[in-house]
Amino acid sequence: MFGKAEHPFFDPLWRRVLLVAFCVFWAGVEFYSSNALWGYVFLAIAAYAAWAYLIAYQKTDGSGNPPAGDG
């Protein structure tokens, strides 16, 4: 959708978890500040990041490319 998510910077799991956690945290900040629209925007970003970086992520081979698969 937005291009490939695989990048050597995101290979360590803690960086991907931190990215998703930050988006959820910032959504909370926006809801606390009575900015519901931005809260929902950041929740949507967090949902996409969780899917792209925690569920569907494939570690790279060091050159920025995902490992060769069956296809």
Amino acid at 48: Y
CB 5 within 8 A of CB 57: yes
- State the average pLDDT over residues 15-38: 97
pLDDT band at residue 70, thresholds of 50, 70 and 90?
A: very low
Q: How much is the mean pLDDT over the chain?
A: 87
The token duo for 70 is: 């069956």
